[in-house]
Amino acid sequence: MMTPLEHIRQNPKKCKQLTGLSSVQLEKLIRQASEMDKKKKKESQEKVVNKKGAGRPKTLKTEEEICLTILYLRQMPIFEVLGMMFRVSKTTANDTFHYWLPIFEDLLPSSLLEEWKRTTGEEELMKEFLTSYQLLVDSFEQARQRPEDNEEQKKYFSGKKKQHTFKNQVIGFPKGEEIVDILVGERGPEADINLLKKQQKKLSKNQKYEGDKGYQGAERTKTPHKKPKKKELSEEQKEKNKEIAKERIYIEHLIRIIKIFRIASERFRLKSNRYKQVILVICGLVRLRIGAFKFSV
């Protein structure tokens, strides 16, 4: 019986459907993640007390462990099923996923600002460059497990979704070809305009934005006309709203790609303190998928 990775390699056209990445992107990710893992192990060798070769031998190859992690993020099966797919126990599947998650986070910058911060540290230069664009902004909510604490339940209960949710906000380029910045794990009931104010502090004071009606009143933000109470919009206002909708559709497409990874769209089943790390990894994978991030040779 073929392993999931062997199946993907024999059917490369199905790779994007199964993992969210093309076969070329997946192989590059496997190579880069493997190299990073080797470097980390080499750096920590001096601190290891156990003798070389001690401990239980690994069941899976490194590339299979990486494939397991990607499949969980894309398909989100229970760990029992994931273990059956790779012929390991659910505990091994769980441990493997949580081992590779921080490596992915280090390897894949979640946004343009994060990548620029890591590689150059000259954030002001990038902020100035971004002012030549009117950036798109939008948010999305994701269901979470009901918190045990009563006060936390009240904080995270979204009247809009009628359940407890996390809220994330994405700022992207005008054509949706890049994630400029992302705010992750906020309270579901938090107003969009308040989240934008938080992100505006990261960018230039001259930066312009474009959002939906939830951002009306935000500084330097273009939004559609809101229908007045007991009145109708003029034809000119309706046409203007259509133009804005055509421009904003790209940020909705970008969020749709994020939600292709089921762990970012279905009810979040892991511990809530893992949420931010998982979504940042997903954003890194999305940037890899759309070609915004490329591995250095």
Digit-coded pLDDT (tens) for 211-235: 999 999 999 999 999 888 888 988 8
Residue 276 lies in a domain: no
Residue 221: what pLDDT? 95
> What is the span of the domain harbouring residue 188?
112-270
Q: Are residues 78 and 203 part of one domain?
A: no
Q: Are residues 135 and 33 part of one domain?
A: no
Q: Per residue in 284-296, pLDDT tens?
A: 999 999 999 988 7
Decide: helix, strand or coil at residue 154: helix
Residue 48: what pLDDT? 57
Q: Are residues 157 and 81 part of one domain?
A: no
* Rounded-to-integer distance, Cα 245 and Cα 49, Å: 60
8 A C-beta contact, residue 44 and residue 37: no
Pairing of strands 208-210, 221-222: parallel
Residue 227 lies in a domain: yes
Pick from 275, 284, 281: nearest CA to 167: 275
Residue 57: what pLDDT? 66
What tokens does 68 get? Answer: 């397991």
Residue 144 lies in a domain: yes
8 A C-beta contact, residue 211 and residue 223: yes
Q: Are residues 185 and 150 part of one domain?
A: yes
Residue 179 lies in a domain: yes
Distance of CA 297 to the CA centre of its chain: 24
Residue 54 lies in a domain: no
Q: Are residues 147 and 214 part of one domain?
A: yes
* Alpha helices by DSSP H, 14-78: 15-19, 23-44, 62-75
Q: Are residues 172 and 99 part of one domain?
A: no
Residue 54: what pLDDT? 54
Residue 231 lies in a domain: yes
pLDDT tens-digit profile, the chain (297 residues): 788 999 999 999 999 999 999 999 999 999 999 999 999 888 777 665 555 555 566 789 999 999 999 999 999 999 999 999 999 999 999 999 999 999 999 999 999 999 998 887 777 888 999 999 999 999 999 999 999 889 889 999 999 889 999 999 999 999 999 999 999 999 999 999 999 999 999 999 999 999 999 999 999 999 999 888 888 988 899 999 999 999 999 999 999 999 999 999 999 999 999 999 999 999 999 999 999 998 875
Residue 134: what pLDDT? 96
For the chain, the domain total comes to 2
pTM of the model: 0.92
> pLDDT > 70: what percent of the chain?
95
Residue 37: what pLDDT? 94
What is the amino acid identity at position 105? E
Q: Are residues 253 and 141 part of one domain?
A: yes
